[in-house]
Structure 1
Amino acid sequence: MQKNSLYTAMSRFIGAVNNMDQTVMLPSRLRDVPTNGAADGAYGSYVLLKSIRNDMEWGVLQQGGGQNGGGTEAAEDEDDLEKQFYFHLNGLHGVLSKLTRKADTLTSRYKEEIGCRN
């Protein structure tokens, strides 16, 4: 499996969130732990990361019907599907890497908070 494949990035993210979930026994202890950039602190990050993992594993419910407009717009979309695919693939890979680091950081902060040295 390629190091930079989407599957590998997804596996790393899911593994990091699973590790975080198994480590954090009392999520309420994260309420007062500050994080860089998160308005609602580590607890909000914890909830967000678990939600994203669940959506990745179980799928996302479609909202609003998901239909494109008709005619010319659909034809234009069809013409650059490959560009769209690579644009979104690259973006998804970047986001998954950041989320994985966030889950690892949150796990470490929780361990520091409870005094775990491992």
Structure 2
Amino acid sequence: MMQMPELLYCQKNSLFTAMNRFIGAVNNMDETVMVPSLLRDVPLEQCDAETDMFSCYTQLKSIRNEIEWGVLRDEQRRKDKPANGTAVTASHTEPESEDGSDLEQLLQFHLNGLHGVLSKLTKQANNLTNRYKQEIGIAGWGQ
């Protein structure tokens, strides 16, 4: 039987918890950003120099929708790709083992990667929300 602190640690680091944190951060961002067009041409320090806050905002919302509603097939993704080119494409570069013996190890590898990406995306959504509040002069409200 697992002890309580170990159980809490496992739950804190579960993929489900990471997805919920990300979805919550994006929902908060979406509720905070009342006028998304104000994000155009505003650079975001956490992204590369060519990315503005609006592109980041639309990308985070797109990723949230894929987590909530399922990943689109490549054909559908190309059709639904926004004009600014922020659609996220899945990478399928990791080969599957031929006999299936390494499937658990392969799953662990991908879960670790996904957890790391979700943590970075959550941080990005929170940073965008805070930066938007600064831009419109409400930083510090609702904290």
Name whichever structure is richer in helix by fraction: 1
Taking structure 1 as the reference length, the TM-score comes to: 0.85
Structure 2 residue 55 is the aligned partner of structure 1 residue 33: no
CA distance in 2, matches of 1:116, 1:110: 8
Q: Please give the secondary structure, in 1, of the residue aligned with 2:12.
A: coil
Larger relative contact order (CA 8 Å, sep ≥ 6): 1
Please state how far the C-alpha of 1:28 moved relative to its aligned partner.
0.8
Q: Which residue in 2 is equivalent to 1:13? A: 22
1:64-103 mapped onto 2 (5 Å cutoff): 76=98, 78-103=100-125
**Tell me, which stretches of 5 or more residues in structure 1 are unaligned?**
65-72
Please state how far the C-alpha of 1:35 moved relative to its aligned partner.
1.1
Q: Is the 8 A contact 2:18 2:118 kept in 1?
A: yes
* Equivalent residues, number: 110
Q: Please give the secondary structure, in 2, of the residue aligned with 1:52.
A: helix
Q: Is the 8 A contact 2:29 2:125 kept in 1?
A: yes
Taking structure 2 as the reference length, the TM-score comes to: 0.71
CA, structure 1 residues 75+83, in 2 after alignment: closer, same or farther (shift >3 Å)? closer
Q: Which residue in 1 is equivalent to 2:4? A: none
Q: Please give the secondary structure, in 2, of the residue aligned with 1:82.
A: helix
> Identity rate of aligned residues, in percent?
62
Q: CA RMSD in A?
A: 1.8
